[in-house]
Amino acid sequence: MKKIFLALSLLIGASASMVQAQEDVKVRFGVTAGFAMTKWNGDFDLGDEDFSFSPGTSFNPGFRLGAVAELQLSAKWSVQPELLFSYEGTKLDSVGTASAMYIKAPILVYRNFQNIGPGQLSPAIGPYFSFGLGGSTDGEETLGYDGIAEKFDWGLQLRVNYEMQRYVEGLFAYIGYEQGLTSTYNMGLMVGVGYKFAYSKWLKSANKGIFSY
């Protein structure tokens, strides 16, 4: 756990340093909602019994929604942290459906290709961090010491985002994949839509930190 928080601290520090080095960082906010198919894999202990998800698991539908913030470092590069509520889980041959609720925080780096049709195409990669709020499996707890999955999950996300620059400026859609890196690791396929509001004129950087009023 200490290594995870150390890696997260280094990532946030590096991102802040990169943002501060820019002469003018544009910032905007938005909302997003999507559909996800998730599946859990790996091994865990259930009391005195060892259990393995594979091969007796299959994908289970869920959803996620929340807020996004985009920091445009240049015309080609941007960083997008998100804060999402995520309902997900897996299907188990032995006990049925396992469900869980998470607060999920992806931090994605986008490479922007403009003027692709009426919009902008942006592949992205970055880590995500999830904290479990609760869940149930056949009437029992899903997460934590007495559950079948870990309460804290982290991993890597890959996305391809397309945002309109004409007609309905700010409207975007994406497809993506995430791979968890904990012992009970999560796999997810995602599609979603959202809307980003106009850049905030009162939020900018001029080598004085991230925000200057």
**Cα–Cα separations (whole angstroms), residue 156 to 90, 100, 188, 204:** 19, 19, 10, 29
Closest by CA position to 115, among listed 54, 163, 187 = 163
Question: Among residues of the chain, what percentage have pLDDT more than 70?
Answer: 70
Residue 209 tokens read as 């930190």
At 71 the pLDDT is 93
Residue 70 β-bridge partners: 28
Kindly indicate the confidence band of residue 76, based on its pLDDT and cuts at 50, 70 and 90.
Answer: very high
Q: Which amino acid is at 143?
A: L
- What is the C-alpha separation between 42 and 21, in angstroms, rounded? 41
* Token pair 């894999």 in the structure block, residue: 41
45: its two tokens: 């202990």
Written as six digits, the tokens of 36 are 């996800």
Instruction: Give the integer Cα–Cα distance in Å for 61 and 54.
Output: 18
Q: Please give the backbone phi and psi of residue 150, each rounded to the nearest 5 degrees, phi first.
A: -75, 150
Question: How confident is the model over 98-125, as pLDDT tens digits?
Answer: 888 999 999 999 999 998 999 999 999 9
